[in-house]
Amino acid sequence: MQQPSDDDTADLLAPVPAVRTGDLVGYARVSTKGQLLDRQIRALTDAGCSRIFSDKKSGKNAEREELWKALDYLRPGDTLVVPSLDRLGRSIQDLIAIVSGLRKRGIGFTSLHEALDTTTPGGRLIFHVFAALAEFIRELIVQGTNEGLDAARARGARLGRPPAMTPRSKYVTPATCSPAPRTP
């Protein structure tokens, strides 16, 4: 078997870990303090997780302390298990960044609801398709932005931040300014 390169795409396809050798570590999250974690924790326990971390914060909040503790706790051969993909991240780019980081460390990833398991060849394939779609969407956005900027330039629109100095203010200096008269 050929060794993967340092390229992220090759890293997503690398068979690491091919066999689970460590613990299953769960991560559950609800968006508000009023929501209950019990259903997610039960699913993670039933999946065989030896340790479960949980947050009661919005997924778009980058300060998910328990997620960062879970990621720090994981060792090579372990597998991070989540009830569903949306519990781990809010965007595909966020998910790809987290799962790619896990793969580089030799840690697997499993989503119970989507039956996605990156410790299997099929799971790596599906995740690679997700990554390719995310890259494709990002490139479409960049292309659309560039086309819009080109069209605006063709119309003669001025792009960017407005100038700080107006033609009149170029000739006004602190020495030529006098304070406005005060009215009693």
**What H or E segment, with its residue span, contains residue 39?**
helix 38-46
Q: Could you give the 3-state DSSP secondary structure of residue 110? A: strand
Strands 79-82 and 116-117: unpaired
- The C-alpha angle with vertex 24 and arms to 22 and 26, in degrees rounded to 5, equals 150
The residues assigned a catalytic role are: 31
Q: How many CA atoms lie within 13 A of 129 on its CB side?
A: 6
Phi and psi angles of residue 43, each rounded to the nearest 5 degrees, phi first: -65, -40
Rounded CA gap, 75 and 107, in Å? 7
Using the Cα atoms of residue 111, residue 116, residue 121 and residue 126 in order, give the sign of their dihedral: negative
